[in-house]
Amino acid sequence: MRTILTVDDSRTMRDMLRMALAGAGFNVVEAVDGEHGLEVLSAHRPDVIITDINMPKLDGFGFIEAVRVDDDYRAIPILVLTTESDPSKKQRAREAGATGWIVKPFNPEKLVEAIRRVAA
C-alpha cells in the first residue's frame, strides 16, 4: 500500500484529503506544518507528499526546499495544494521543487489522478 504524507495546517483540509486518499486505498500520514512534516517524513517515508503552502512555522515553500536538499528524500514527488487564483504561488512552489500541483477545491478523482501521474 502506498503511503501519502499530507501537510496542512487546516484540520478540515487534512480530513478532506484523508477521506479522498483512504477511500482510494492509500495509507495516509499527516502533519500540521512544514516542521512537523519533516519529522513525519523520516518516520514514515511516504511515496508521495501533498503539501499546503500557507502554514505556520515552516511554510510549503520552505518545506519543499528542505525535502529537496535531503539526499534521502529528494526523489519523493511533492504535490502542492494551490488555488486557481494564484499562479505566482504555483510558480514559486515549482521553483522550490514541487513535482506537481492540485488546485483547490479538488475532487477525489483529480487528486488520485495527480498522484498516479507522479508516483512511480
Residues forming the site for another protein (CB under 8 A): 1-3, 9-16, 19, 27-32, 40, 43-47, 54-56, 68, 72, 74-78, 81, 83, 85-88, 91, 94, 97-101, 104-106, 117-120
Which grid cell sits at 17? 484529503
- Shorter beta-carbon distance to another protein: residue 11 or 109: 11
Q: By C-beta, is 104 or 109 nearer to another protein?
A: 104
The CB-of-13 to another protein minimum distance in angstroms stands at 6
Grid cell for residue 8: 496542512
CA angle 61, 53, 4 (to 5 degrees): 95
Residue 79 near residue 49 (C-beta atoms within 8 A):
yes
Quick one: cell of 72? Answer: 534521502
Nearest approach, Cβ of residue 26 and another protein (Å): 10
CA distance 58 to 62: 6
Q: Which amino acid is at 107?
A: N
Please state whether 119 falls in left (phi above 0), alpha (psi between -120 and 50) or beta: beta
> What is the closest distance, in whole angstroms, from the C-beta atom of residue 80 to another protein in the complex?
11
In the bound complex, what is the minimum distance in angstroms from residue 44's beta carbon to another protein? 6
